[in-house]
Amino acid sequence: MAKWIIFEDSVNDQHAYPIQNINAAFVTSSTNITVYARNPTQPTESVSDDTIALTCSTDTVDDVLDLLLQQFSTGNNASTISAARISEITTVAYTAGA
C-alpha cells in the first residue's frame, strides 16, 4: 500500500499525494516552506507540479521542515499536514499545477 501525504489548507480542503509524487520541499524564507508535488490525477509531464506553501511561525521553519521529513518517512499509511494539527504552521496554501 502506498503512503499518502495529505495537505489540509485553511478552508479544510484536503490535497492528497502518494509519497512518490512529492518532488521537493524548499525553505524559501525564514517563515515559508514550499512543497512541489505531482498531482496524481494529472500524471503527464506537460502539467506543472502543484505547489503547497506552508507559512510557519517565526523561528520554527527548521522544526517544521524536520517534522515534514519525519512524516514523509514514517511507516504510517497517511500523514496529514495542517495548521490545525501542527501548531508551528500558521497557514497552508494550495495552488494547482497548470
Three cell numbers, residue 7 = 495537505
In the chain, which residue ranges form alpha helices assigned H by DSSP?
Answer: 61-73
Q: Is the pLDDT of residue 11 over 80?
A: no
pLDDT in tens, 30-59: 999 999 988 777 766 677 889 999 999 999
Q: What is the pLDDT of residues 66-95, one digit of tens each?
A: 988 888 887 678 888 888 888 899 999 988
pLDDT of residue 1: 53
Chain Cα centroid distance, residue 60: 16
pTM score of the predicted model: 0.85
Beta pairing partners, 95: 51
